[in-house]
């Protein structure tokens, strides 16, 4: 079973089979290898990944069928049969988990588009966005979960993959370092270094000369003259917060937006490093090839002493470095093995920007409608405050439909309603709009009409 409090287990099941949120399954409700089992359960990690992946229940049922074959075989030892009965039970329980919900995916895409629309409204001319489509599967945040090297970065509400802004910034910074290092022109090197320091920011250690490929001094070959000249043109020579914010890349389209189980089979013993005849397949989650993500950047503030033109240059360079990074080296784990690289579709990006602009117009119309409604409500409230009690009753009674007005007449005739409200009723009844109603009641409801005349006379009113 999964480590859960008893009351939680009673609601969600011993194997959390009623949970459909991937984030919970990966981060909070993982099947342990030792806890809750009589002996070590070697398939724990693999089963954990499968239950939270697209079509994972199919593979779990296959595992169940595989165990059933061993149980049914006459050649299988009793101890192995017992192990497979337990394995089959767990596989069957976990196969009941359902995590694919098309409506949630569509809602997440809508949410991403709404965020882009809000960014465009809040940071006009100070944002950049583009859509990247995975050319290979994506492994992101593998080491960040509760399972060893089987984690994934997920949106906590929707359970869909999310590329952290820190990952986008990290690969962009790496690309910037190598481009600055490879440029031969000193003038161009200075220009790029200054832009990089403004975009990514820096601390004391980031600009100290040393042989570290993550260091800005390394990018200019530890040349103190170049580094000193560039730093002297910036607000601080020791530390500076970057002016560009890298936002998390969120799903941009439902197309191929799936988390799948990926496998890797090491052929060497982890302890000795030698080739082993005992293969131990590893299973981990990956984002499917063809999935689309929206990458976004915003200029969080204007650099001190810099104008709008300089800001555009900064944003353009940050966008170029990010595009080069995701289409070149890729993002996430195992990029050298073909994972995590993107292609950029300008048409899709343009369509998304257009959709965001249309969403902004709709949001503005809704906001204006709400402001108009609020203003009308305030006017109505002010008008009501200036009215007498009788005037307020007149307005309320005038808005009644025919059955409700007839019921009000009955209450007045029986003296259930008196005073200002009764007087207001008679004023409405005598209005030109109720002329036909008076004729009908005189002709068809003589008893009611007589009772109303009596009450009106008591109020010194006439219905003639």
How many domains is the chain partitioned into structurally?
Answer: 3
pLDDT digits (tens, 9 = 90+) for 48-90: 889 989 888 899 999 999 999 999 998 889 989 999 999 999 9
299 belongs to a structural domain: yes
Q: Is there a domain that residue 416 lies in? A: yes
> What count of Cα atoms within 13 Å lies in the side-chain half-sphere of residue 450?
4
* pLDDT beyond 70 at 168: yes
Q: What is the mean pLDDT of the chain?
A: 88
* Same-domain check for residues 350 and 229: yes
61 and 111 inside one domain: no
The answer, yes or no, to whether residue 107 has pLDDT greater than 70, is yes
Give the residue-averaged pLDDT of 264-273: 74
pLDDT at 19: 87
Instruction: Judge if 89 and 208 occupy the same domain.
Output: no
Buried b (16+ CB within 10 A) or exposed e, 221-249: eeeeebbeebbeebeeeeebebbbbbbbb
Q: Which residue has the higher pLDDT, 45 or 273?
A: 45
- Note whether 87 and 180 are same-domain residues: no
23 with 158, same domain?
Answer: no
138 lies in the same domain as 13: no
Report pLDDT digits (tens) over 296-319: 999 999 888 777 888 999 999 999
Q: Specify burial of residue 294 (Cβ count, 10 A radius: 0-12, 13-18, 19+).
A: buried
Quick one: pLDDT at residue 9? Answer: 86
pLDDT of residue 206: 87
For residues 421 and 341, membership in a common domain is answered with: no
Q: For residue 267, is it within any domain?
A: no
| pLDDT band, very low/low/confident/very high, at 173 (cuts 50, 70, 90) | very high
Q: Is residue 371 part of a domain?
A: no
Is 365 a member of any domain?
Answer: no
Quick check: helix, strand or coil at residue 412? helix
Question: Which domain-ending residue is among 72, 94, 116?
Answer: 94
DSSP states of 393-409: HHHHHHT--HHHHHHHH
- Same domain (yes/no): 189, 284: yes
The reply to whether 377 falls in a domain is no
Residue 75 burial class via C-beta count within 10 angstroms: exposed 0-12, middle 13-18, buried 19 and up: exposed
The answer to whether position 320 is within a domain reads yes
Is residue 29 within 8 Å of residue 19, measured between CB atoms? yes
Domain that holds residue 228: 102-262+280-357
């Amino acid at each position: 079973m999964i480590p859960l409090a008893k009351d939680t287990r009673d609601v969600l099941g011993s194997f959390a089979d009623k949970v459909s949120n991937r984030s919970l399954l990966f981060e909070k409700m993982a099947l342990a290898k030792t806890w809750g089992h009589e002996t070590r359960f070697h398939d724990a990690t693999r089963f954990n990944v499968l239950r939270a992946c697209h079509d994972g229940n199919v593979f779990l049922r296959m595992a169940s069928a595989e165990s059933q074959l061993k149980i049914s075989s006459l050649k299988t030892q009793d101890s192995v049969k017992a192990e497979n009965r337990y394995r089959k039970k767990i596989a069957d329980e976990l196969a009941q988990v359902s995590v694919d919900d098309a409506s949630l995916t569509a809602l997440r895409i809508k949410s991403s588009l709404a965020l882009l629309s809000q960014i465009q409204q809040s940071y006009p001319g100070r944002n950049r966005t583009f859509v990247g489509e995975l050319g290979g599967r994506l492994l992101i945040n593998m080491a960040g979960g509760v399972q060893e090297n089987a984690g994934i970065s997920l949106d906590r509400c929707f359970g869909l993959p999310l590329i952290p802004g820190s990952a986008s910034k990290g690969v962009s910074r790496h690309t910037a370092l190598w481009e600055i290092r490879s440029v031969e022109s000193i003038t161009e090197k200075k220009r790029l270094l200054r832009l990089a320091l403004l975009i990514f920011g820096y601390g004391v250690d980031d600009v100290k000369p040393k042989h570290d490929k993550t260091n800005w001094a390394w990018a200019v070959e530890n040349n103190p003259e170049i580094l000193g000249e560039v730093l002297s043109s910036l607000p601080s020579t020791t530390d500076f917060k970057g002016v560009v914010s890298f936002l998390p890349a969120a799903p941009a389209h439902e197309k191929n937006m799936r988390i799948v189980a990926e496998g890797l089979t090491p052929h060497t013993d982890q302890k000795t490093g030698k080739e082993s005849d005992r293969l131990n397949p590893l299973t981990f989650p990956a984002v499917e090839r063809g999935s689309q993500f929206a990458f976004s950047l915003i200029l969080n503030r204007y650099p001190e002493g810099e104008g709008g033109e300089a800001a555009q240059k900064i944003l353009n360079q940050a966008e170029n470095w990010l595009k080069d990074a995701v289409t070149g080296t890729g993002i996430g784990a195992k990029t050298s093995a073909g994972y995590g690289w993107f292609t950029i579709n300008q048409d899709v990006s343009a369509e998304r920007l257009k959709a965001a602009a249309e969403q902004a117009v709709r949001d503005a119309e809704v906001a204006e409608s709400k402001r108009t409604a609020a203003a009308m409500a305030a006017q109505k409230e002010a008008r009501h405050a200036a009215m007498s009690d009788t005037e307020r009753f007149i307005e309320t009674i005038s808005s009644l439909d025919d059955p409700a007005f007839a019921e009000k007449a009955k209450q007045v005739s029986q003296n259930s309603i008196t005073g200002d409200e009764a007087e207001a009723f008679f004023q409405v009844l005598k209005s030109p709009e109720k002329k036909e109603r008076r004729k009908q009641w005189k002709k068809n409801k003589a008893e009611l009409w007589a009772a109303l005349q009596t009450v009106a006379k008591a109020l010194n009113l006439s219905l003639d």
